[in-house]
């Protein structure tokens, strides 16, 4: 039904357009055709001939009239564009002024007023002025020029004004802020931006001046006969193939101009489109920059060119991202199938979480301090705060560098599409995965805890209810707690697989950020794996790290011993690389299936629930004290 | 502080509405002065002169009208002649009144023709695919860039007694002898529609481009019939375009001279032709001026409508900024 309606309207459109074009072009086409006719009879075709063109070019009166018309039209167009620009400027930028209504009326009326009235009015002013000034008395080409400027200015004003409105005022303001005077601003900023409309207005004024018959007939003295006047008087005498030839030439010139006008229109539209896309991309980049480094005021030039080497690196990075996205997808698939089995276990986790929750609530003091620390960018830490601040700064710089590389890559033709799609895809999938992971993995982690402790005997229904509410109200704390538990379990069990997966995730994160911290991270990781004690210390450190939200990869390598586990998860929370990093972490953890969840747990849950993690850490910290 | 910046600030702060003029400096006026003076000198002043001359009588002199102000015996005399106006309305043959009415009738009917022909064209343009739209737009506009007289001339060759249209109609067998088309009102209508159609299509096109087409879909979804949908959704949304286009056709058509002169017959005495004849053939400038003044009075309302639309457009766009 709808489709048929659509088709109907398409057919209707085609019919209308064809009929319109026939109506508009048939007379002109026949005119052109008969210009090549041998016979003097305009309506009877005899044979092909160019003799009327020959006669046309030998006709001195026509040549002279063409000369006068071109002369007048050129100067009319120039003057009219100047007046139109001034008028447009006044109308658009100066705003209301005394007599503005009259001004608008004066600029509007010539467009609609019957030509006979305009012509008569102009003639009478010339006659009146002519009695005073010799200049106006002779009514030659200059009088025609004045008359033409008067009525074409209205049109040029409209054309230029409509473009003027679209100009971005902020560019002019910027130019002025940089010290350009109003005149310089006009010629350096406004005029170039107006150029297309200036050209259009020029052509319009030129054509109108070339074409005008009635006004010119009133004005023109005996010496100044323009082309339309000549055509008119000749047509009034009767039809003549010479006029056909002349008309053909006019049509030919006009169609060439039309073609170029169309071409430039298409071009400017393409440019507009490209500009819009560029602007959108720049905006996206800017947003990303803020996300990456909320306090970074380094500006990134998206147009900056990259060396081949950098390009290669970036391409690799893009490929890695793509790969990460694929893996993330895979993991997402696996995760989706997992939770079913574990859902019923969720009831049991209530116990653990509730306890944690209570603990947290007891420690209001630590909560407060935690808030301060969490304020991103504010690096106020106790103890080794200086070091952390330094690290954080370095980390931010490093991540900015890495990010800038990304941004630059974005501007490259080749990587553009791939990068954006890869980033978008991976962001989307990893968000989904993260969501899944943070709940399901938490469940898994808790399931383990529960399995270990295995003394839970709450009623299933009650637990389910609680679980449901809990998941709703305190999702953050829940998964954070789960993370903690999982980590505890992991570390206390001290298995080698844990260490390997953790190491992997750390190194991949380091890799992703493009920082050469892998080695150190690798060195640090095994140590950590063997460490089974001082979880509390680790938690405390983690809290510190957490609060310095912007820390990134470099820090990783410097964190000692058991910190590295937590810092690795922190890395993923650091910002821009979070999604990609976690996707890659997922990739790695996927390869070590035995502990997929615990490792993932650490990366994911921490990413999402940084705050509550810190809560827990604080709790641990204080209890330890 | 520069005037441009101040203009910006004013625009920002006051939102362009209710802006006053007292802060403008000489620089602003320097910009305004050229276009303003030009238009006052060569556009506004002439109308006052037309009015002045319409109050004098024709004389065989140079300029060919009696002076309004004369000095006789050292005393200034102002003689206002109202003969021209009374003649226009009391002419025994009623030529002037008839031609005014004829002009209004022809202009109104051709405006209507332009509207019903132009609306589908504008619709087809506005709803075409963007790439196609550009081409079609150019194609519709292009004829109006060729010479006006040439276009009329083209129709003369077509509408002639032995012209192409008669030839085709006879060849097909619809008519057995050529019908008179040139020098009839029909030819005048064809000429006006052909020449003024772009002026109708352009405002309609820009109005149709802004139309919210989901309203039409909504109307259809609610079971509205196509004709009712058209009048209840499209027409109200394109009202300003319809008005602007109609004014752009109606006002110039009232005073049209070339088309009735070349295509029209003895019956097509429109007021533009009368004015032209009075001016050039009879050299009665005062009467021609009076004819023009009466024509202007007829056109005051349409011109004001057009001016209002233009004003609204200007303010609407400024406010949107």
CB A437 within 8 A of CB A604: yes
* pLDDT per position as a tens digit, A143-177: 899 999 999 999 999 889 888 888 888 888 888 88
Record the tokens describing residue B251, joined without a space: 């006002």
Give the nearest chain B residue to A147 (CA atoms): B42
Of residues B155 and A478, the one with the higher pLDDT is: B155
Q: Which of A139-148, A420-429, A606-615 has the highest mean pLDDT?
A: A139-148
pLDDT of res. A391: 58
Q: For the residues A249-277, what does the mean pLDDT come to? A: 84
pLDDT category, A449, cuts 50, 70, 90? very low
Q: Is A266 exposed, middle or buried (0-12, 13-18, 19+ CB in 10 A)?
A: middle
Q: What is the helix (H) or strand (E) element at residue B71, kind and residue range?
A: strand B69-72
pLDDT in tens, B127-177: 888 888 888 888 888 888 888 898 999 998 888 888 888 888 888 888 888
**CB distance B153–A239 less than 8 Å?**
yes
- Chain B nearest C-alpha distance from A14 (Å): 8
Q: What is the DSSP string of B187-217?
A: HHHHHHHHHHHHHHHHHHHHHHHT--HHHHH
* Torsion over CA: A161, A165, A167, A170 (sign): positive
Split at pLDDT 50, 70, 90, the class of A500 is very low
Token digits of residue B91: 């002419």
**How far from B313 is each of A163, A344, B68, B244, CA to CA, in Å?**
14, 67, 42, 11
CA–CA distance from A595 to each of A441, A444, B146 (Å)?
Answer: 11, 10, 81
Q: Lowest mean pLDDT: which of A65-79, A145-159, A310-324, A381-395?
A: A381-395
Interface contact B127-A9, CB threshold 8 A = yes
pLDDT of residue B107: 94
Chain B residues whose CB is inside 8 A of the A102 CB are 44
Q: Is the pLDDT of residue A447 over 80?
A: no
Torsion, CA B279, CA B284, CA B285, CA B288, rounded to 10: -60
Is A179 a residue whose pLDDT tops 90? no
- Chain A nearest-CA distance from B36, in A, is 7
% of chain A beyond a pLDDT of 90: 11
Per DSSP, the residues of A10-51 read HHHHHHHHHHHHHHHHHHHHHHHHHHTBSSS-TTS---B--H
Give how far B5 is from chain A: nearest CA, Å.
7
pLDDT category, A238, cuts 50, 70, 90? confident
The strand ranges marked E within chain B are 69-72, 75-78
CB contact under 8 A, A17 and B124: yes
Cα A398 to chain centroid distance, Å, stands at: 26
Q: Are B58 and B287 in contact (CB under 8 A)?
A: yes
Judging contacts by C-beta atoms under 8 Å, the chain B residues touching residue A247 are 146-147, 150, 153-154
Q: Which of A42, A95, A218 sits opposite B7 (nearest CB)?
A: A95
Residue A79 has pLDDT above 60, yes or no: yes
pLDDT of residue A460 exceeding 90: no
Whether residue A377 contacts residue A295, with contact meaning beta carbons closer than 8 Å, is answered with yes
Which chain A residue shows the shortest CA-CA distance from B254? A114
The beta-carbon neighbor of B255 closest among A42, A116, A186 is A116
**Does pLDDT of A534 surpass 60?**
no
Residue A364 pLDDT: 39
Q: What is the pLDDT of residue B179?
A: 86
Q: What is the DSSP letter of B163?
A: S
| Distance from the B252 Cα atom to the nearest Cα atom in chain A, whole angstroms | 4
**Residue pLDDT, tens place only, B10-61:** 444 444 433 344 456 677 777 788 888 888 888 888 888 888 888 888 777 6
Q: Please list every residue in chain B whose beta carbon sits closer than 8 Å to the beta carbon of residue A34.
A: 157
Instruction: Check CB contact under 8 Å for A213 and B63.
Output: no
Task: Average the pLDDT over A464-490 and give the result.
Answer: 47
Please indicate whether residue A450 or residue B139 has the higher confidence score (pLDDT). Answer: B139
Q: How far is CA A372 from CA A544, A548, A610, A611, in A?
A: 11, 10, 14, 11
A599, pLDDT greater than 70: no
**Using the beta-carbon criterion (under 8 Å), do A95 and B38 form an inter-chain contact?**
no
Give the per-residue pLDDT at A42: 67
Residue A325 pLDDT exceeds 80:
no
3-state secondary structure of B1: coil
Partners of residue B285 in chain A, C-beta under 8 Å? 124
Q: Give the residue among B145, B197, B154, B196 at the shortest CA–CA distance from A256.
A: B145
* Position A100 confidence tier, pLDDT thresholds 50, 70, 90: confident
Where helices occur in A293-412 by DSSP H, the ranges are 308-337, 339-342, 346-362, 364-374, 385-411
pLDDT above 70: percentage of residues in chain A = 46
CB A310 within 8 A of CB A405: yes
Q: Report pLDDT for A78.
A: 95
**Contact of A543 with A612, CB cutoff 8 Å:** no
Q: What is the pLDDT of residue A177?
A: 86
- Residues in chain A with CB shorter than 8 Å from the CB of B136 are 17
Confidence band, pLDDT 50/70/90 cuts, at residue A282: confident
**Contact between B19 and A266 using a beta-carbon 8 Å cutoff:** no
Please state the rounded mean pLDDT for residues A76-93. Answer: 90
pLDDT (mean) for B59-78: 73
Both structure tokens of B292: 């023009």
**Region A316-341 average pLDDT:** 64
Per residue in B210-252, pLDDT tens? 888 888 888 888 888 888 888 888 888 888 899 999 999 999 9
* B263 to chain A: closest CA residue: A236
If you measure CA to CA, which chain B residue comes closest to A35? B154
CA distance A335 to A358: 30
Of these ranges, A62-66, A222-226, A282-286, B11-15, the one predicted with the greatest mean pLDDT is A62-66
Give the residue, A153 or A263, on which the prediction is more confident: A153
Contacts of residue B310 in chain A, CB cutoff 8 Å? Answer: 104, 108
Q: What is the rounded CA–CA span in Å between residue B91 and residue A272?
A: 61
pLDDT of residue B320: 54
Question: How confident is the model at residue A562, as a pLDDT?
Answer: 38
- Residues of chain B contacting residue A165, judged by C-beta atoms under 8 Å apart: 317-318, 321
Average pLDDT over residues A493-512: 40
Q: Does residue A296 have a pLDDT over 60? A: no
pLDDT band of A287, cuts 50, 70, 90: low
Omega within 30 of 0 (cis) for the link into B63: yes
**Phi-psi domain of B179 (left: phi exceeds 0; alpha: psi -120 through 50; beta: other):** beta
The residues near B55 (Cβ < 8 Å, ≥ 6 apart) are B68, B80, B81, B82, B84, B286
Q: What is the model's pLDDT at position B188?
A: 94
**Six-digit token string for A178:** 């940089």
Q: What's the mean pLDDT in B266-295?
A: 88
pTM of the model: 0.60
Average pLDDT value for residue range A438-459:
46
A150 and A122 in contact (C-beta within 8 Å)? Answer: yes
For the segment A12-34, the average pLDDT, to the nearest whole number, is 90
Q: How many CB pairs under 8 A join A and B?
A: 285
End-to-end Cα separation, chain B, in angstroms:
22
Place of tokens 């060919």: B64
Chain B's closest residue to A168, CA to CA, is B321
Please tell me the predicted confidence (pLDDT) of residue A350.
39
d(CA A619, CA A364): 10
* Average pLDDT of the residues of chain A: 65
Q: Distance, in angstroms, between B198 CA and closest chain A CA?
A: 10
Report the residue of chain B nearest A205, measured CA to CA. B145
Binary contact (A26, B158; C-beta < 8 A) = yes
The highest-confidence range among A23-32, A297-306, A580-589, by mean pLDDT, is: A23-32
Q: Where are the beta strands (DSSP E) in A78-196?
A: none
CA-based nearest residue in chain A for residue B280? A218
Q: What is the mean pLDDT of residues A331-356?
A: 48
Of the pLDDT bands very low, low, confident and very high (cuts 50, 70, 90), residue B105 is very high
Query: A55, A242 in Cβ contact below 8 A?
Result: yes
Measured between beta carbons, which residues in chain A are less than 8 angstroms from residue B187? none
State yes or no: pLDDT of A441 exceeds 50.
no
Joined together, the tokens standing for residue A411 give: 């501007």
Helix A100-112 vs helix B26-39: crossing angle, to nearest 10 = 30
C-alpha B202/C-alpha B225 separation (Å) is: 28
């Amino acid at each position: 039904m709808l489709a048929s309606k659509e088709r109907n309207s398409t057919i209707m459109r085609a019919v209308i357009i064809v009929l319109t074009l026939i109506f508009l072009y048939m007379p002109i086409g026949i005119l052109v055709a008969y210009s090549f006719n041998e016979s003097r009879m305009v309506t009877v075709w005899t044979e092909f001939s160019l003799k009327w063109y020959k006669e046309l070019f030998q006709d001195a009166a026509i040549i002279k009239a063409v000369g006068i018309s071109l002369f007048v039209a050129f100067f009319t167009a120039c003057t009219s564009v100047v007046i139109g620009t001034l008028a447009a400027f006044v109308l658009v930028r100066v705003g209301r002024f005394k007599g503005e209504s009259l001004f608008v009326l004066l600029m509007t009326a010539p467009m609609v007023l019957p030509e006979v009235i305009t012509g008569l009015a102009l003639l009478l002013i010339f006659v009146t002025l002519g009695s005073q000034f010799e200049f106006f008395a002779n009514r030659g080409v200059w009088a025609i020029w004045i008359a033409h400027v008067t009525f074409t200015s209205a049109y040029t004003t409209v054309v230029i004004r409509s473009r003027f409105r679209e100009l971005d005022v902020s560019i002019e303001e910027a130019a002025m802020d940089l010290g350009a005077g109003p005149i310089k601003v006009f010629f350096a900023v406004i005029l170039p931006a107006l150029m297309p409309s200036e050209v259009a207005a020029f052509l319009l004024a030129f054509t109108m001046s070339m074409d005008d018959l009635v006004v010119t007939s009133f004005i023109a003295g005996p010496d100044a006969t323009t082309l339309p006047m000549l055509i008119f008087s000749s047509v009034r005498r009767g039809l003549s193939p010479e006029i056909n030839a002349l008309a053909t030439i006019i049509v030919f010139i006009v169609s060439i101009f039309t073609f170029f006008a169309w071409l430039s229109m298409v071009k400017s539209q393409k440019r507009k489109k490209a500009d819009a896309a560029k602007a959108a991309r720049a905006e996206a980049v800017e947003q990303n920059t803020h996300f990456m480094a909320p306090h970074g005021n380094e500006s990134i030039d998206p147009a900056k060119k990259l060396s081949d080497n950098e390009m290669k690196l970036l391409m690799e990075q893009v490929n890695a991202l793509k790969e990460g996205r694929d893996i993330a997808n895979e993991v997402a698939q696996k995760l989706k199938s997992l939770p079913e089995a574990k859902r019923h276990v969720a009831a049991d986790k209530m116990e653990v979480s509730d306890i944690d929750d209570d603990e947290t609530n007891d420690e209001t003091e630590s909560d407060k301090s935690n808030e301060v620390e969490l304020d991103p960018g504010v690096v106020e830490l106790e103890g080794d705060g200086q070091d952390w601040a330094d690290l954080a700064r370095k980390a931010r710089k490093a991540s900015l560098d890495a990010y800038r590389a990304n941004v630059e890559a974005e501007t490259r033709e080749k990587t553009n599409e791939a990068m954006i799609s890869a980033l978008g895809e991976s962001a989307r999938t990893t968000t989904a995965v993260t969501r899944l992971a943070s709940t399901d993995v938490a469940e898994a982690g808790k399931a383990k805890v529960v399995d270990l402790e295995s003394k839970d005997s709450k009623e299933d229904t009650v637990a389910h209810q609680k679980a449901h509410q809990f998941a709703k109200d305190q999702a953050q704390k829940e998964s954070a707690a789960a993370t903690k538990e999982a980590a505890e379990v992991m570390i206390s069990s001290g298995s080698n697989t844990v260490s390997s997966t953790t190491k992997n995730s750390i190194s991949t994160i380091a890799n992703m950020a493009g920082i050469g911290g892998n080695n150190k991270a690798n060195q640090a990781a095994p140590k950590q794996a063997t460490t089974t004690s001082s979880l509390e210390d680790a938690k405390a450190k983690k809290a510190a790290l957490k609060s310095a939200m912007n820390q990134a990869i470099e820090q990783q390598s410097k964190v000692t011993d058991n910190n590295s586990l937590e810092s690795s998860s922190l890395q993923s929370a650091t910002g821009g690389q979070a999604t990609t990093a976690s996707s890659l972490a997922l990739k790695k953890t996927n390869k070590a299936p035995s502990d997929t969840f615990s490792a993932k747990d650490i990366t994911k849950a921490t990413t999402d629930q940084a705050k509550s993690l810190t809560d827990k850490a604080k709790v641990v910290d204080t209890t330890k004290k | 502080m520069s005037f441009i910046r101040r203009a910006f600030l004013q625009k920002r702060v006051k939102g362009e509405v209710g802006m006053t003029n007292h802060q403008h400096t000489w620089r602003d006026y320097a910009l305004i002065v050229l276009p303003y003076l030009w238009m006052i000198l060569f556009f506004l002043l002439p109308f006052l002169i037309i009015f002045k001359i319409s109050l004098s009588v024709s004389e065989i002199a140079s300029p060919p009208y009696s002076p309004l102000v004369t000095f006789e015996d050292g005393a200034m005399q102002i003689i206002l002649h109202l003969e021209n106006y009374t003649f226009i309305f009391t002419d025994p043959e009623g030529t002037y009144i008839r031609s005014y009415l004829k002009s209004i009738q022809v202009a109104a009917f051709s405006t209507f023709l332009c509207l019903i022909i132009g609306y589908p064209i504008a619709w087809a343009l506005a709803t075409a695919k963007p790439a196609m739209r550009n081409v079609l737009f150019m194609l519709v506009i292009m004829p109006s860039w060729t010479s006006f007289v040439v276009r009329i001339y083209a129709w003369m060759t077509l509408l002639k007694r032995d012209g192409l249209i008669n030839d085709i109609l006879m060849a097909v067998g619809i008519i057995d002898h050529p019908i008179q088309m040139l020098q009839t009102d029909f030819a005048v209508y064809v000429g006006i529609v052909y020449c003024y159609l772009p002026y109708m299509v352009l405002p309609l096109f820009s109005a149709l481009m802004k139309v919210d087409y989901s309203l039409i879909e909504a109307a259809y979804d609610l079971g509205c019939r196509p004709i009712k949908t058209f009048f209840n959704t499209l027409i109200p949304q394109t009202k300003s375009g319809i008005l602007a286009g109609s004014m752009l056709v109606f006002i110039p058509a009232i005073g049209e001279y070339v088309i009735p002169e070349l295509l029209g017959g003895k019956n097509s005495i429109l007021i533009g032709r009368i004015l032209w004849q009075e001016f050039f053939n009879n050299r009665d400038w005062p009467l021609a001026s009076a004819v023009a003044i009466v024509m202007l009075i007829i056109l005051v309302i349409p011109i004001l409508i057009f001016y209002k639309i233009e004003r609204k457009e200007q303010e609407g766009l400024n406010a949107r900024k």
